[in-house]
Amino acid sequence: PHELHFPSVADQLQWPSLLIIDWIEIERYSSEYTFLKEIGVRQAPELSVLVDRIVAQYHSTNQFHMCKELRFFAEHFQTDYS
């Protein structure tokens, strides 16, 4: 389950290739969500993968802007990456 993500992550980042659990309507504060989180379903992609996507966005446009991946990182740094 460590390679799976909650659907909200893929939705926020708009990554169609991100592996998600097939439970779109799962409630964030439900016992099922807590259980899936405890067994390894991810609330955020690995930092190295996220940084690679940010770098790829920069190289594809040759300009630095607040892409959705960078915004996700900024919003989730304290809870998921520190």
42-81 pLDDT per residue, tens: 999 999 999 998 888 888 877 777 888 999 999 999 999 9
Do 13 and 69 touch, CB atoms closer than 8 A? yes
CA distance 27 to 62: 39
Does the pLDDT value for residue 13 go beyond 80?
Answer: yes
pLDDT at residue 77 in the model: 93
pLDDT at residue 61 in the model: 79
CA distance 72 to 13: 7
Report field, pTM of the whole predicted structure over 0.95: no
pLDDT at residue 57 in the model: 84
